[in-house]
Amino acid sequence: MLYRVGNIAVAGLALGLAYLPTTTPAQAENILRFANMGDAATLDPYALNSQVTLLAGIQMHDALVMRDPEMKKVPGLATSWESIDPLTWQFNLRKDVKFHNGNAFTADDVIFSIKRAQAETSQMKGYLNTITEVRKLDDHTVQLVTDKPNPILLDQLINIFMMDKEWSEEHNVTEPQNFKDNQETYAVRHTNGTGAFKLESREPDVKTVLVRNPDWWGNEIYKHNIDKVVWTPIANDATRVAALLSGEVDLLTDPPIQDLNRLGRHDALKVEKTPQIRTIFYGFDVRSEELRNSSVKGTNPFKDVRVRKAFYHAIDIEAIKRAVMRGLSAPAGMVIEPPINGYRAEWDKNRLPYSPEKGKELLAEAGYPQGFEVQLDCPNNRYQNDEAICQATVGMLQKIGIKANLNSQPKTQHFPLITGKGTDFYLLGWGIPTMDSGFIFDYLMHSDGSWNAGGYGTPELDAKIEAIRGIVDAEKRNQMIHEIWTQIQADVPYLPLHHQMIAWAMKKGLDIPIEPNNMPRFYWAKLDG
């Protein structure tokens, strides 16, 4: 089966930016000033499987396969690909591509990058769990060999950014950063990709400056005219909005929900919205013999599904939608959303009803008639109104006798609790770049999943998750996906809250395709006027 996708012209992609004049109009730079509430936690492209980290990486790196604004697969560093046999894919690489330091991109870099992304410290290895070998046919042709037929391999490659083998060896970063142990390496603060923008300067949590790569292979395809991007993380909602209103910032991808109407009415601004491929939910530790921060000693109440369902019944999701999310959310009954393969609308609509009475009844049946105390770990700068969601939950849980002690902190402290499996009860959001349930199964439902903080899973469920990686027959594969979701829905290892909606606020001279994965790509941008 041969996949050949010709050069694409991205039409209608305009991002208006403010001219910051220098000495003459001819020397003026088009500078996009971008702000959001949280910075990338690292620049190592394989150290952390996090949307904000990927957002940074995708500006400076390229993958073999990429997506267009409509989420369709298009050529990246591979101009075409072909399935040679059920276990072998062949990729024809772009010629004359250079890394930012001038090194040539070749098949050796593909081999190195995939092996590096499969390393023990890589959080991206779940994308590559079927690849057993990378073969070099010549400098611009590689073959990927899998241990079983993989129907979603191309989708999995989209977030595997290619790195420079020579540069990585020179700077002693042939292995990914060990993020959960807070390891510091050269790749944490420096990059050398083939992407549309080069890293000019990096001050974590303060400012990152990117400059146009004049030698990027995609400049004739994606005719952006952005010379520089200044990315400033601004944690405080009011400060972030003030920066947009004053003209100090051109684009916010996470404007506070409570300010959207005001921003939309502003003469110089506009707000665009779309459903996001991300669901927000709570996770429980269902494996430990005793919780870390709880009044219950000698046992783990979350091992009992009745306790998990009691928490579920305590959540008034419509109140959260109305009062916290200001209507900018869709209550969820699954932890995936449309259009992900495996999604079932009937499950999504039939979430457990809000009923504190039922919650108290289930707690009593489980042996906790007076409830208990537990810590709720929550980020305060990652998802829309994340801390406010957790604060509302604390009050709701009180109605069934649960005292939830809120531990709210920045995502740089919150995520290591999850990847380090050091939390009892926590808020998390999950997007699915592969558009397939297998992705969330590998990371959150498999016993060894790197983001499976609660330790959910059984040998039988693990076997099914591993089996779908190699089932090519769509009907047979989807039947097994349905079986896995049926088990998950019954077990309630995660408490679904809502599917997030995206709102971007920007100056009216700015137009940029608003992606359902909430990752603006600045090479799709063009200055208007």
Is 413 within the bounds of a domain? yes
Percent of the chain with pLDDT over 70: 94
**Whether residue 132 sits in one domain with residue 187:** yes
pLDDT at 29 exceeding the cut of 80: yes
* Structural domain boundaries enclosing 322: 276-501
Does residue 246 sit in the same domain as residue 307? no
pTM: 0.77
- Residue 344 pLDDT grade (very low, low, confident, very high; cuts 50, 70, 90): very high
Asked if residue 25 has pLDDT above 80, the reply is no
Residue range 127-156, pLDDT digits in tens: 999 999 999 999 999 999 999 999 899 999
Same domain assignment for residues 219 and 365:
no
pLDDT for position 147: 94
In this structure, is residue 291 part of a structural domain? Answer: yes
Helix orientation angle between 305-314 and 386-398, rounded to the nearest 10 degrees: 110
Is 203 domain-assigned? yes
Asked whether residue 256 is assigned to any structural domain, the reply reads no
**Per-residue model confidence (pLDDT) at position 157:** 97
Q: Is the peptide bond before 339 cis (omega within 30 degrees of 0)?
A: yes
> Is the residue at 263 inside a domain?
no
Name 34's Cβ contacts closer than 8 Å, sequence gap at least 6: 229, 230, 231, 232, 249, 250, 251, 253, 520, 522
* Mean pLDDT taken over the chain: 92
In this structure, the answer to whether residues 219 and 348 fall within a common structural domain is no
266 within a domain of the structure (yes/no): no
Write the pLDDT tens digit of every residue in 509-519. 888 889 888 89
> Could you report how far apart the first and last alpha carbons of the chain are, in Å?
45
Mark whether 494 and 514 lie in a shared domain.
no
Residue 143 falls inside a structural domain: yes
The total number of residues written for the chain in this structure: 529
What's the pLDDT score for residue 205? 94
Could you tell me the sign of the dihedral formed by the alpha carbons of 475, 476, 477, 482, in that order? positive
Local structure of 243: helix, strand or coil: helix
pLDDT in tens, 206-240: 999 999 999 999 999 998 989 999 999 999 999 99
Q: What is the pLDDT of residue 21?
A: 36
448 with 387, same domain: the answer is yes
pLDDT of 188: 97
| Position 440 in a domain | yes
Same domain, 425 and 447: yes
Examine the domain organization and report whether 351 and 208 are in the same domain. Answer: no
CA 212 to chain centre: 25
Are both 225 and 290 inside the same structural domain? no
Question: Could you tell me the CATH number of the domain that includes residue 378?
Answer: 3.10.105.10
Considering the domain architecture, whether residues 241 and 287 belong to the same structural domain is answered as: no
Per-residue pLDDT at 1 exceeds 60: no
| Same domain? 194 vs 283 | no
CATH of the domain at 35: 3.40.190.10
Q: Are residues 163 and 201 in the same domain?
A: yes
- Tally of structural domains, the chain: 2
Calculate ∠ Cα 212-215-219, nearest 5°: 70
Averaged over 286-292, what is the pLDDT?
97
